[in-house]
Amino acid sequence: MSALANHRFLKMNGLGNEITVLDLRGTPLRVSAAEARAIAGDPRSRFDQLMVLHDPLTPGTDAYLRIYNTDGSESGACGNGTRCVAWAMTADPVMRGPTGGGLVLETKAGLLPVERVSETVFTVDMGPPRFAWNEIPLSTAFEDTRAIAVETRLLDAPELTNPSAVSMGNPHAIFWVEDVQAYDLPAIGPILEHDPVFPERANISLAQLLGPEHIRLRVWERGAGLTRACGSAACATLVAAARKGLTGRKATVSLPGGDLLIAWRGSDDHVLMTGPTEIEHEGVFSPALFSRFETRPQHEDIS
């Protein structure tokens, strides 16, 4: 049976983006893809992203995060999940440590400084965006990623063409549309996510400009599906809008779950995301959840 049985978890959300937080600091345990899928399949711990805390790898950081999607694949970034982890590490009576209002968390995409704004609101420094085709990555060498040659023809809906492509530690494609509700995103999201131009798949966003400081957004998340909120997609969308001259470097991004304030800082090109967190419940994983797994040591390198 899995060594994860009976481990405590927190079920949280960031604007409705379902997040499960699991603290494995101080242990050699590591979550496998199959175990992540099992956790996602339990209604008590169901997630869009599973945020797993490990001991720090880099001096000066507070934890190393591994981020899992519902299909067991890993992601390099999750802004909503990072805010939830920050709440857990500063407010949860079990997980919190001797930290003040600030943390530095590390993922495979880099370091993520986090500052507390209020009791449940945090700002995450998501780092600089990347625009080069081979950094996003894309399978074709596009010189200008503000609009790349991807399109799909749909019945009873306008065409989707020429999305902006951005990496925020994970690949994003943003299609600019007149009305985000005019498309069946659950139907077209999987098709676009797996388009050959995206060798590592992509998060697919439909973005509607409401004004020079306001964007409406719907997101199909790579490996997770339709979501009420996606922090990295909101960051990618603001950056893409600013690059196209549609907005300045700061805007409110409205998702089905609520609003995020996104700012693309001019001094160092870092993108700052500010938004709320919510704790739903805590629990422990049932041994029955992992009944098909053999007991095994989990000492794999997390780097």
Is residue 78 among the annotated active site residues? Answer: yes
Fold match flag (8-119+279-290 vs 151-269) = yes
Q: Where are the beta strands (DSSP E) in 15-80?
A: 17-23, 49-54, 63-69, 74-75
Mean pLDDT confidence for 130-159 = 86
Indicate the pLDDT class of residue 153, thresholds 50, 70 and 90.
low
Domain spans, the chain: 8-119+279-290, 151-269
Does the annotation count 84 as an active-site position? no
- Structural tokens at position 171: 């690949």
Q: What is the pLDDT of residues 12-48, one digit of tens each?
A: 999 999 999 999 999 999 999 999 999 999 999 999 9
CATH number for 8-119+279-290: choose from 3.30.70.270, 1.10.1370.30, 3.10.310.10, 3.40.50.10330. 3.10.310.10
> 151-269 architecture in CATH?
Roll (3.10)
The structure's pTM equals 0.90
Among candidate residues 31, 67, 78, 239, the one labeled active-site is 78
**pLDDT tens digits for range 224-275:** 999 999 999 999 999 999 999 999 999 999 999 999 999 999 999 999 999 9
Distance CA 118, CA 41 (A): 33
The C-alpha angle 300, 302, 303, rounded to 5 degrees, equals 125
Query: What average pLDDT score do residues 193-214 get?
Result: 96
- How many residues does this entry show for the chain? 303
Name the catalytic one among 63, 166, 230, 251. 230
Residue partners of 157: CB distance under 8 A and separation at least 6: 182, 183, 184
- The string of pLDDT tens digits covering residues 280-303 is 999 999 999 988 765 444 444 444
Burial of 154 (0-12, 13-18, 19+ CB in 10 A): middle
